[in-house]
Chain A
Amino acid sequence: MELYHGSLDVETIFSKWLNEENNSNYGAYIPFVGTIRAEDGIEALSFDIYEPILEQWFQGWVKRAEKLGAKVKMAHAIGDVPVHTSSYISAVFSPKRRVALELIDEFVEDFKANAPIWKYDVKDGKRIYAEDRSTPMSGSGLLA
């Protein structure tokens, strides 16, 4: 798992991951790239991350992928990410395509639901919590 301040350098990260697995004999490499769209007058999105629990969440996926003979990777931005640049990349490597196709779907969806990351719209230089697009994590409401 890799965290960067500001936009991700997609080409550099793609090529780094490819090089890391050059000799691993995986037949499939499926990356997912999240790019900030220009909508609702935003200049950028901004992200807060709680790294200790994100790392645990990610390690859970590493173990799950290992059982299928696969490998997961991810990179995410911290702080402001301007429109038309990338905030999130994940990827699955696997011996054959089927496992990678299924795993990237589950990995990205679970990321959206349970990775401890908070998103803000940036408008006129102000950060506004994207509450209407956010999802309560599993187990929410325990203290209510």
Chain B
Amino acid sequence: MVRVEFLGPISQEVLELEAKTLADVAIQLQNIETIAPWLAKCAVAVNDQMTADLSMVLKSGDKISILPPVCGG
């Protein structure tokens, strides 16, 4: 199982999913009605490292963070 955390304004509790790669996570999140609209504008981190690799292999216990559009300052 991997843990998926939604940061900032996304109102969604932590999800625990079965996933071998980030692509598996993507498919499952696309099927959640309240999450799907966020995905096009969200960045992704695995274990607090930003990533752009959908084929990234995941292991049990990995933390995936979903980061919506930012505005500091």
Point out residues on A near B: beta carbons under 8 Å. Answer: 34, 47-48, 50, 52-53, 56, 76, 87-88, 108, 111-120, 129-131, 133-144
Q: Is B42 at the interface (CB under 8 A from chain A)?
A: yes
B25 touches A52 (CB 8 A): no
Sample 19 A-B pairs with CB under 8 A, ordered by A number: A48-B7, A48-B9, A50-B65, A53-B50, A108-B73, A111-B73, A112-B71, A112-B73, A118-B70, A129-B8, A134-B68, A134-B69, A135-B69, A136-B42, A139-B51, A140-B43, A142-B43, A142-B54, A143-B39
Bound Cα distance A47, B30 (Å): 27
Contacts of A133 in B (CB 8 A): 71
B48 touches A142 (CB 8 A): no
Contacts of B65 in A (CB 8 A): 50, 53
A117 touches B70 (CB 8 A): yes
Pick the contact of B70: A113, A142, A144 (CB < 8 A).
Answer: A113
Contacts of A139 in B (CB 8 A): 43-44, 50-52
A137 touches B72 (CB 8 A): no
Within 8 A of A (CB), among B8-36: 8-9, 22, 25-26, 29-30
B54 touches A112 (CB 8 A): no
Contacts of B42 in A (CB 8 A): 136, 140-141, 143
Per CB-CB distance, the 3 closest pairs between chain A and chain B, nearest first, are A118-B8, A117-B72, A134-B69
Contacts of A118 in B (CB 8 A): 7-9, 68, 70-71
B71 touches A50 (CB 8 A): no
Bound Cα distance A134, B50 (Å): 18
Contacts of A142 in B (CB 8 A): 22, 26, 43-44, 51-52, 54
Contacts of A129 in B (CB 8 A): 8-9
Bound Cα distance A116, B5 (Å): 14
- Measured CB to CB, the closest approach of chain B to A20, in angstroms, equals 22
Contacts of A116 in B (CB 8 A): 7-8, 67, 70
B73 touches A88 (CB 8 A): yes
